[in-house]
Amino acid sequence: MAMANFARRKALSLSGSLSKSDLLRCSLYLSSSYRSFSTGSEENDVVVIGGGPGGYVAAIKAAQLGLKTTCIEKRGSLGGTCLNVGCIPSKALLHSSHMYHEAEHSFASHGVKFSQLELDLPTMMSQKDKAVSNLTRGIEGLLKKNKVNYVKGFGKFVSPSELAVDTIDGGSTTVKGKNIIIATGSDVKSLPGVSIDEKKIVSSTGALALSEVPKKLVVIGAGYIGLEMGSVWGRLGSEVTVVEFASDIVPTMDSEVRKLFQRTLEKQKMKFMLKTKVVGVDTSGEGVKLTLEPAAGGEQSIFEADVVLVSAGRVPYTAGLGLDKIGVQTDKVGRITVNHQFATNVPGVFAIGDVIPGPMLAHKAEEDGVACVEFIAGKEGHVDYDMVPGVVYTHPEVAYVGKTEEQVKASGVEYRVGKFPFLANSRAKAIDDAEGVVKILAEKESDKILGVHIMSPNAGELIHEAVLALQYGASSEDIARTCHAHPTMSEAVKEAAMATYDKPIHI
């Protein structure tokens, strides 16, 4: 706009020496230039639809590579589901509720005593909201710092290189791009006959904003989100029952670690109804009445709760984008089909994160975003989905990377297993928080690490030593012969590695 104003002033200063036809042509040019700028129709090198972990990271990386970039986000607040109503607020509540639970049950054994403990739920929620708002503003600052144009609105395809955007202020604009990246994330998976009202029947979004602690909470789905949110409200006083259609909780987890994890959650008074499905919901009374039935069919039963959390998974969010209009191919579950460079079947259109196959995790989306932009810029990008760690942020946490023992067995590879319990770890014993184990799987002949599974306090931090080891093809002996500081939780990883290739010292 500054250039347009400069040109307008220059033309006016020269008006005495220009003909009327010259002045008319100059005026028309300036008007069209101004319209082009104000509607955002100048062509970008990269346009990203979605400002979540995948989208905003892709936009920043593109700008850092010298590409003119625009990021479009319909929420009006950057960070996507993860930052606004997912990973970040849930971790804030997990931490706060853990502090409350520790004060209620563990402080006295450490010599910390007080006369009265009180839960201030509004303050707890306020702390969570403050963390979210600070981080969203921080991301907006990062876009500005990297000169990424930020458009607040919902973008839909007009053509493979043009988007019509309905802005959050009620207006509209057009954004053009040589390359357009779809990074719109995922949405809550609905269940037939279960209508989410975010009051009695809530999604993870509603579970993060309850105004009081429900006496009885039912969680439908025993995955990451359900167990984490169940933990939050269980620590604060809810009777939590988890209803799961499958025969196991967290099906991606190593079965040995999973069984240990479930026993730990049950000791925390979380109840499980496995191989069970919800066939009916009645919200006409004070609370909620669920009609349950065995997964294989059979006699029905009624289960009553104050609040029901639907946590049965997530599905790609692509509704209203106009993918069918430009011919973008999707698979049978709605995920966008891409090649190893994240390109769809439509030239110039790419997709990353939850809308494509692979783990629906924020850190996976970030890696997708960087690699995709590197390919667009003519560089090489790479994401190995076998090296994406998973973490359940309960207490203790469970973190894992690589293959489970079941997967290694199925592959036919001969392997060794090394384990080390935190009951034998000096730091864990010193802080009286020693429930858990490290389990390492390695190929028998080469000793190459195949998978690492950790259940412990801060397992989500400990796992990255294992991620790096797998990424570079390390052996268990490599970890075992690496000096680890004492006393630390990470020594359990070293000891498990020693147990894998030889013998541990402390058991």
Catalytically active residues are 486
| Helix residue ranges, H only, 361-487 | 362-376, 405-411, 426-430, 459-471, 476-480
Task: List C-alpha distances in Å: 134 to 95, 128, 129, 140.
Answer: 17, 10, 9, 10
Q: How far apart, in whole angstroms, are the C-alpha atoms of residue 401 and residue 389? A: 5
Q: How far apart, in whole angstroms, are the C-alpha atoms of residue 326 and residue 87? A: 33
CB atoms within 10 A of CB 462: 21
Backbone angles phi, psi at 298, to 5 degrees: 145, -160
Tokens of 427: 């730091």
3-state secondary structure (DSSP) of residue 452:
strand
Task: List C-alpha distances in Å: 1 to 31, 96, 299.
Answer: 11, 48, 70
Phi-psi region of 501 (alpha: psi -120 to 50; beta: other; left: phi over 0): alpha
- Beta carbons of 361 and 388 less than 8 angstroms apart: yes
Task: List C-alpha distances in Å: 3 to 8, 124, 164, 173, 403.
Answer: 9, 50, 26, 21, 57
- Give burial (CB, 10 Å; 0-12/13-18/19+) of 95: middle
Tokens of 323: 């993918």
3-state secondary structure (DSSP) of residue 137:
helix
- Beta carbons of 352 and 369 less than 8 angstroms apart: yes
216-220: strand order across its sheet: 201-202, 307-310, 216-220, 239-243, 271-273
Q: Chain-centre distance of CA 216, in angstroms?
A: 27
Closest by CA to 228, choosing from 415, 86, 15, 69, is: 86
The amino acid present at 185, given as its one-letter code, is G
Task: List C-alpha distances in Å: 182 to 9, 49, 354.
Answer: 41, 5, 10
